[in-house]
Amino acid sequence: MSAALYAGLMSGTSLDGIDAVLVDFSGAQARVIATAYAPFDASLRAELLLLQTPGHDELARASLAANALAEAYGTQVRALLRGAGVTAQAVRAIGAHGQTVRHRPDLGVTIQLNNAALLAELTGIDVIADFRSRDVAAGGQGAPIAPAFHRAYFGASGRSRIVLNIGGIANATILPETGRVFGFDTGPGNVLMDLWAMRHLGVAYDADGTFAASGRSDADLLLRLLEEPFFALPAPKSTGRDLFNAAWLDERLASHRASPANVQATLLSLTVASVANAVASAGAQEVFVCGGGAHNQTLMQHLAAALAPARVETTEALGIPADWVEAVAFAWLAQEHCAGRPIDLMGITGARANRLLGCRYPA
Ligand SMILES: Nc1ncnc2c1ncn2[C@@H]1O[C@H](COP(=O)(O)OP(=O)(O)OP(=O)(O)O)[C@@H](O)[C@H]1O
Ligand SMILES: [Mg+2]
């Protein structure tokens, strides 16, 4: 069978950088044939972070940031083509998520910055972008949407599985042995641990969770953090930096004395407890973790303990390394758009019916 090559571009709530993949979907397995990653340069990251909250002249600044993003996406696509030794003509489309700066489905709003027209111009490849807004228009949360990909490639295994993506925000996909698949955001993944590591260590993240492992989780503080109403909401639900941000954390720490290391340990416990509480009723036999959180050994150990007797490993065991699953999902969404196939997110985002997601910017 001839190759069906699609590129996927993902830059998530962590604001760490751009994940890019080139995938061949012609076989039964999604075959990743090239990958590229680039951290955001410091000035773009700082601006994207500022654009998460209201500010001066933000419409114009958002458009300029979107142009800078498209340039950075274009650079990653060129890296993929070089890495795979293929031409732009061989790639059927790029699925580009864009950079979320607001996620308020309750207001009918989710905003992903991107200049898809510029990306099509820069690459000479069709770009499919803006996947979330149609889902919101159809009454959905607009997020998470990667569970549709998890269902297509990791589901129907005859086993009861969960796929956990631990990015800035964490989301779970419940793949039961039989019956309906569902998925939802569980709450913070790395976002709070990242901001605490930046504040106290001056680093982008707590590598391997060593800072967290140097402290002790504070049971009172953990209970206080778990009082957040989002955790008790029924699915469908999604969240972002709109809720889980520095102001949220500082408000809860104001009346609490804990050492920086103990706070970090508690934030790690918060991710673990909110995930474990949310998926407990699924009683899955196996859990596969993807996203940057899969590299945090302390987090993985605590997750394994909290989810026992389920077996916890990374999606590498299913053929796609943890770092690339979300980007592969957007390459797949581009393919589904090109094939004219609406996506069923009714059990995931709560959309009222299947919808064709994304918008095409021809090469
Ligand atoms: N070695 C590591 N140790 C601890 N944490 C790590 C390590 N490597 C990556 N991370 C964490 O993973 C994060 C990046 O994860 P990822 O790229 O999956 O998140 P994201 O960009 O928010 O994506 P998405 O929104 O698609 O889930 C980093 O911010 C960091 O917290
Ligand atoms: Mg990322």
How is the chain split into domains, by residue range? 5-141+327-361, 146-318
Q: How far is the CA of 107 from the centre of ligand 2 (A)?
A: 26
Ligand 1 binding pocket includes 17 (Cβ within 6 Å): no
| Predicted local distance difference test score (pLDDT) of residue 3 | 87
Q: How far is the CA of 169 from the centre of ligand 1 (A)?
A: 9
Ligand 1 binding pocket includes 207 (Cβ within 6 Å): yes
pLDDT in tens, 115-141: 999 999 999 999 999 999 999 999 999
DSSP annotation of 355 reads B
How far is 191 from 167, CA to CA, in rounded Å? 8
| Predicted local distance difference test score (pLDDT) of residue 330 | 98
**Chain position carrying tokens 């732009």:** 88
> Could you tell me the two tokens for 192?
């709070």
How far is 299 from 305, CA to CA, in rounded Å? 10
Cα angle, residue 166 at apex, residues 66 and 75 outer, rounded to 5° = 30
Ligand 1 binding pocket includes 8 (Cβ within 6 Å): no
**CATH 3.30.420.40 applies to domain 5-141+327-361:** yes
| Predicted local distance difference test score (pLDDT) of residue 2 | 83
Three-state secondary-structure class, residue 354: coil
Atom of ligand 1 nearest to the CA of 322: 18
User: Please, are residues 196 and 249 in contact by the beta-carbon 8 Å criterion?
Assistant: yes
| Predicted local distance difference test score (pLDDT) of residue 305 | 98
Mutate to test the pocket of ligand 1, among 9, 194, 205, 298 (most ligand atoms within 8 A of CB): 205
**CA 360 to centroid of chain Cα atoms:** 22
Q: How far is the CA of 5 from the centre of ligand 1 (A)?
A: 26
Q: Which CATH code fits 146-318? A: 3.30.420.40
Three-state secondary-structure class, residue 191: helix
Long-range contacts of 277-284 (CB under 8 A, 24+ apart): 277/226, 277/231, 278/172, 278/184, 278/186, 278/187, 278/231, 279/162, 279/164, 279/172, 279/174, 279/186, 279/307, 282/160, 282/162, 282/174, 282/176, 283/160, 284/160, 284/161, 284/162, 284/174, 284/175, 284/310
**CA 305 to centroid of chain Cα atoms:** 24
DSSP annotation of 276 reads H
| Predicted local distance difference test score (pLDDT) of residue 1 | 63
Q: How far is the CA of 245 from the centre of ligand 1 (A)?
A: 16
Helices and strands in the chain, H and E counts: 12, 13
How far is 244 from 208, CA to CA, in rounded Å? 22
Check if 5-141+327-361 and 146-318 are the same fold.
yes
For the chain, list residues with pLDDT below 70: 1
**Residue 209 C-beta-side C-alpha neighbours within 13 Å:** 26
Q: How far is the CA of 168 from the centre of ligand 2 (A)?
A: 8
CA nearest ligand 1 atom 5, residue: 296
Ligand 1 binding pocket includes 185 (Cβ within 6 Å): no
What does pTM read for this prediction? 0.97
Ligand 1 binding pocket includes 167 (Cβ within 6 Å): yes
Ligand 1 binding pocket includes 271 (Cβ within 6 Å): no
Q: How far is the CA of 51 from the centre of ligand 1 (A)?
A: 20
* β-bridge mates for residue 175, sequence order: 161
Ligand nearest the Cα of residue 39 is 2
**CA 32 to centroid of chain Cα atoms:** 18
